[in-house]
Amino acid sequence: MTRMARPVRLQVTVEGASYSPDEQYGVLEVARAADNLGVDYIDTTEHILMGLGALTSGQGWEMRHLEQPQPEALVTLAAIAGATSRVGIVSSIVIAPLWPAGLLAKQVATLYALSRGRFVLGVTASWHKDEYDALGVPFAERGQVLDDNIGACRALWSAAPASFHSRFVNFDGMFCSPRPPSGERMPVWFGGKFTMRQIRRVVQLGDGWMPYGGLRMTVAQKAAAIAQLRSAYAAAGRDPSRLEVCDALGSAGGSVERTMEQIPALAEAGVTIVRAHLRHLSAGPDSVIATLEEVVRRFEPMRALTV
């Protein structure tokens, strides 16, 4: 694999589930600390609604998880944008098929503008059928809805008036403002299994791939997938050195030290951004910022690693 001499960067995940419902402001305290400590990106997760089907989904959900606070992602990230000044802000993820395309385009473009271009839209189709059923979106067609929604967003972010016609989204002569300045591309990273459809999605509509731990890929499999994505980028006339690959670090028994030891192998595989999930590495709400500080301290020597 051709190496691009790009330094590996650090992303941290902060969740409302780390805090009680009346202490959600803790998320913003972590964001301010991450901003001050030089973290490259901060993200938060999304589920809009959870149903009992999660308990038998094979995703590891238990009854206690259904009541954990999970504030809406874009609202939370807007608050984070206001509480910080330099850190990149990522939705990791937004379940894009659950949103009307025009509303998603408007909210994302607004957040991008308010954050001075620091926002990255991370999306996936996700897995929870109950959530789709409750929100009236066809679960079996979620991949196509994802493609249509992001395609429509791209149209609305690129020109005005904009038109778009697909199976699930159709409009003519629509204006969406604010939108990115002319020639400036809104970054979109896709999460999900590595398939031919995902390759086409990333190459045609996206700017990055998030092969998070739930995919159960080995490092060697990720390396092969990243090489294939870069080749597809080049074949489509896109610069493969601009492809972002953001991968989550699996918690090694809650040890920050052992968790961070995964990074050199991931960098060698072509991962450009490593994601540390603070809740999985913290003993409780009072230790999240101390955990963040340890993550940053142990990551600093690894900034010399290149992809």
Into how many domains does the chain fold?
Answer: 1
Confidence band (pLDDT; 50, 70, 90) for 215? Answer: confident
Residue 272 included in any domain: no
The pLDDT value given to residue 71: 96
pLDDT value of position 109: 98
pLDDT for 1 equals: 46
* Per-chain mean pLDDT for the chain: 95
Instruction: Return the pLDDT at 16.
Output: 96
Res 160: pLDDT: 96
Residue 254 lies in a domain: no
* CA pair distance 141, 54, nearest whole angstrom: 19
Q: Is 250 domain-assigned? A: no
- pLDDT mean over 214-233: 92
HEC string of the chain?
Answer: CCCCCCECEEEEECCHHHCCHHHCCHHHHHHHHHHHHCCCEEEECCCCCCCHHHHHCCCCCCHHHHCCCCCCHHHHHHHHHHHCCCCEEEECCEEHHHCCHHHHHHHHHHHHHHCCCCEEEEEECCCCHHHHHHHCCCHHHHHHHHHHHHHHHHHHHHCCCEEEECCCCEEEEECCCCCCCCCCCCCEEEECCCCHHHHHHHHHHCCEEECCHHHCCCHHHHHHHHHHHHHHHHHCCCCHHHCEEEEECCCECCEHHHHHCCHHHHHHHCCCEEEEEHHHHCCCHHHHHHHHHHHHHHHHHHHHCEC
Quick check: is 256 in a domain? no
* Mean pLDDT across 95-101: 98
Indicate the pLDDT class of residue 178, thresholds 50, 70 and 90. very high
Specify whether the CB–CB gap between 35 and 292 falls below 8 A: no
Q: Is residue 280 part of a domain?
A: no
pLDDT confidence band for 223 (50 / 70 / 90): very high
Shortest CA distance to 15 belongs to which of 1, 6, 26? 26
The pLDDT of residue 123 is above 60:
yes
Is the pLDDT at 116 greater than 50, yes or no?
yes
Q: Compute the average pLDDT of residues 59-84.
A: 95
Within a domain: residue 199? yes
The model's confidence at residue 275, banded by pLDDT at 50, 70 and 90, is very high
pLDDT attached to residue 128: 96
Residue range 70-84: mean pLDDT, rounded: 97
Mean pLDDT for the stretch of residues 165-177: 98
Residue numbers of the domain that contains 28: 22-242
Tens digits of residue pLDDT in 248-261: 999 898 899 999 99
What's the whole-number mean pLDDT along residues 192-213? 94
Q: Is residue 273 part of a domain?
A: no
What's the CATH code of the domain at 90?
3.20.20.30
Residue 151: inside a domain: yes
Residue 212 confidence (pLDDT)? 82
Q: What is the mean pLDDT of residues 15-34?
A: 97
Residue 261 CB burial class (10 angstroms; 0-12, 13-18, ≥19): middle
